[in-house]
Copies of this chain bind each other. A is one copy, B any other.
Amino acid sequence: MKNIGIGLAGFGTVGAGVYENLERHRDLIAERSGYVFDVRRIVVRNPQKTRDVVAPAALFSNRWQDLLEDSEIKVVVELMGGTSEAYDLTVAAIKSGRIVVTGNKALLAERGAEIFAMACEHKVPVFFEAAVAGGIPIIQSLRDAFVGNRIESVHGILNGTSNYILTRMQEAGLDYPEALAEAVKLGYAEADPTLDINGWDAGHKAIILAALAYGFWVDPATIRVEGIDRVSAADIHFAKSLGYCIKLLGSIRENSGMVEVGVAPTLIPLGNVLASVNGVFNAVAVRGDLVGDSLFYGRGAGRGPTSTSVIGDLVEAAHGLNAARQTYGFASHSLYGSSRPASEIVGSYYLRLSVDDKPGVLARIAGVLGEAGIGISSVVQPESIAGVETPLVLMIHEATYGAMCAAIAKISALNCVKGEPLLFNVEALS
């Protein structure tokens, strides 16, 4: 048995969970891994605050530098969130030779290239299983288990809050505001659920998955990220009648040598296994050239699942403490060149409009699309339902997102079109 000193930055849901579960399962972890983890210091903003998980007062500090001043701390666990102090700590930890375990998806998505360049330079690994999909070991699986595969695509339901809201809209017919209020009430959404709702929580995770699959960090500014706040009960109803459900889907794929990444509300066939991923659960479908189709499913957030991933990373960190390594948690390479800008990505779409109930309307809309070279694969004019008067649904088979946006701007300006057109993705996933 070997003792490993660790330092914890952050003592919120996840940080406190890691502390609590390292204590509770001390023997189990020691027997299964051969390591005992000693939390030697916990850094928080306010050490005096009363907390639901109790730890000795002497462990708390409000200076992250304390973690690095204790030479017995070999691994720094960064669960404070944010991208400024967390960045400073991560960089300082790497430079001081401490292995870093982090759950910080925003930090990695925004500055991953820089952080892993530093990790390589200082020969210090950074592990981040907790950053994507809670307790699902998707990082380890993509990076290690599938190391011998060309990854063809990764599709993920990556935000539990959004998925809970969409599930309730789908199953109970709730509209978006009601479902959101329910999610907040049940504690599934943060008091400020902005990043959940605007899609960027999933966007950060998609960037991380793309990095593992393709060896480089896609610039967040170049990808399309949309949240679920414009999905209405009416759209869920229309999608269902067409054989689809709507999920907030992260889509990552290689296409003609370029990598495509995006997050948007997406219609997926009701028969696909991702359509049955409900509530706060997450799932990631990976297609590799050798392994074929595989799927990972589990809880995407919460104290237990996320501390599961942190503890797994701690054991991996411990295994590698004094070993010579060839890679440091992420291997950068240039086999896939570059990423395709959002506007050039070809997709299929669900376009929903509200229109005047007059003859000739469809002809004018089809005319705009036709001029742009965009083909319509089907048109449905459903009955008006609550919130959507005279709806018109167009299914578009293949068009670039840029061409769609340009056409929609023109369609939106037609006087027979009311309100803002709505554009979601469609993925056959076959």
Contact = CB atoms under 8 A, between A and B. Distances in A.
A97 interface: no
A147 B1 CA distance: 15
B324 A322 contact: yes
Given A292-B298, A295-B295, A319-B325, 20 more contacts: A31-B335, A32-B331, A33-B147, A33-B326, A34-B326, A135-B291, A135-B294, A137-B141, A137-B146, A145-B308, A146-B312, A147-B311, A290-B303, A291-B298, A291-B308, A294-B298, A295-B297, A319-B320, A322-B323, A323-B323
B290 A308 contact: yes
A344 to B, nearest CB: 25
A297 B331 CA distance: 26
Interface stretch (A21-29, A47-55, A230-238, A358-366): A21-29
Contacts of A296: 294-297
A8 interface: no
A422 to B, nearest CB: 31
Contact of A28 (B22, B148, B293): B148
Ordered nearest first, which 6 A-B pairs have the shortest CB separation? A34-B326, A148-B311, A323-B323, A294-B298, A137-B145, A31-B333
A144 interface: yes
A181 B305 CA distance: 44
A117 interface: no
Contacts of A315: 144, 147-148
24 contacts: A1-B326, A25-B148, A25-B149, A25-B150, A28-B148, A29-B147, A31-B333, A31-B335, A135-B292, A137-B137, A140-B141, A145-B312, A146-B312, A147-B311, A273-B273, A273-B297, A276-B276, A291-B305, A293-B298, A293-B299, A294-B296, A294-B298, A295-B297, A319-B326
A316 interface: yes
A273 B275 CA distance: 11
In the complex, the count of this chain's copies comes to 2
Contact of A289 (B1, B2, B304): B304
Contact of A145 (B22, B140, B291, B297): B140
A269 to B, nearest CB: 13
Interface string A105-138: 0000000000000000000000001000001110
Interface string A325-343: 1110001010100000000
**Size bracket, chain A contacts:** 35 or more
A35 interface: yes
A28 B151 CA distance: 11
Interface of A: 1-2, 21-22, 25, 27-29, 31-35, 129, 135-137, 140-141, 143-150, 215, 273, 276, 288-299, 302-305, 307-309, 311-312, 315-316, 318-320, 322-327, 331, 333, 335
Contacts of A215: 31-32
Nearest to A335: B31
B141 A290 contact: no
A33 B143 CA distance: 9
Output the residue of A308, A311, A322, A333 with the most chain B CB within 10 A.
Answer: A308
A308 B148 contact: yes
A335 B33 CA distance: 13
Contacts of A291: 135, 298-299, 304-305, 308
Contacts of A320: 319, 323
A296 B133 CA distance: 14
Contacts of A32: 143, 147, 215, 327, 331, 333
A148 B146 CA distance: 23
Contacts of A297: 273, 294-297
Contacts of A304: 289-292
